Structure 1
Amino acid sequence: MGGLQSIVKILDSSVKDLKALAAENIANVARFHRARRTVRQYGGIKKLVKLLEGDVEVARCGALALWSCSKSTKNKEAIRKAGGIPLLGHLLKSPHENMLIPVVGTLQECASEKSFRIVIQTEGMIKDLVKNLNSENDELQMHCASAIFKCAEDKQTRDLVRKYKGLKPLVSLLSKEDNKELLAAATGAIWKCSISMENVDELQKYKALETLVHLLTDEPEDVLVNVVGALGEFAQIPANKAIIRKCGGIKSLVNLLTGTNQAC
């Protein structure tokens, strides 16, 4: 009925509360593909990025809307072209969790694109992502770990995670077995970080390998894929092969061979 186009126009309003409410509406509606495309086609991405420079509440609502919109590949590129990454990086230093969650949520969605991963690294955001791994908010921890999971394909990012002492909190997150989304993000981040052998040495100081082997049973497939991936990296060091065997990991790995997931 053309309502979304009208809401996008309201983003230009001089009334802060109206802009914030319009952005919140977009955040809810843009969970659907067609709505995300409409927001982009009517110039909404640029307007939402501009909101990131507003006061705290307006910026928070803008980040919420961008988070929903960022689930589309073309919108990710539009956010980048509109200069959204440095602004998100600035907001990443916020002390407020209700601001950080949509900001990190947007970043971890966009981190699936290489151009974004490079900027996240060069703009110094890895330090802030690591810092927020120590939050007491499970959702914020999950999005930070997920962003690191995607960014740690790159060696420099893996080195930065180690430099900023992010490996220990990642191992600590493995204890949160009841939160499967958080567990998948943490095991994924550990897997990618363990591609660097210097990180494997550091991770093993916190008994990461023993904990990972423990997770080889009764876990969702996305967790299992990440755990097996990490074990493959750890096993490049001979001493770690013995630990895997001693902890009963060989039997669990053999059992996974009968599963249907080819990645495992």
Structure 2
Amino acid sequence: MNYFDLTGKVAVVTGAGRGLGAALAVGLAQAGADLALVTNSTPAEGTASKVHGLGRKAITIQADVSDHSKLSGIIDKTVEEFGRIDILVNNAGIIRRTPAAEHSYKDWEDVLNVNLNSVFVLSQEAGKRMIAQGSGKIINIASMLSFQGGINVPGYTASKHAVVGLTKQLGNEWASKGVQVNAIAPGYMATDNTEALRDDPVRSAQILDRIPAGRWGTGEDLAGAAIFLASSASDYMSGHVLCVDGGWMNR
């Protein structure tokens, strides 16, 4: 089990105040990591309390990841506090649901700014540190809409397709430098982003009918995959997209 031991590792998780980000952060702490919890408007104190309850250290960093001038400060503060950064989980994301013909450019720009541009900038800032120390793990959160087109979400779909491409590109450049870049593609998860779908009886039934597991996923369902990709167990994986989807892609 030492393959999955993260004791002494330092992880940055964006969007860590709630939902998938909080569950991913707690999962990494359970495996032994200390955490820098990045959040915008949602306080991360609840997540920090859970991390502390596991005997791990945690700091909270309030930052709007769409403001790219602030992103280097996230990595700087983490290194200042802990002395290093070993794991970056690019989880923060937003979605805007509007038919493509009515989708405003502002919605398009807002989604791409958070879901793609911040992933590149944070990966670049963390990657510099990881390359210098000769090791590191970057985990990007992709989506089922990294593979499919979806409906009424042009900006989100474009951003998540691009996240997969970026994952592969960075993986190609950095694998030889000891830095593995991979992604997790969650299936349909019970989060704020899917609330509109879950509240729609027709769409909810259509989605559940396609999931072999027969249920919506939870943040806890992703924790094991994150621990795997953050640990030495995945040292020979690069540019891979791991689907955690209850079997959705099999159908």
Structure richer in helix, relative to its length:
1
Structure richer in strand, relative to its length:
2
Bigger relative CO (Cα 8 Å, ≥ 6 apart): 2
Bigger radius of gyration: 1
Do the structures match in fold with TM over 0.5?
no
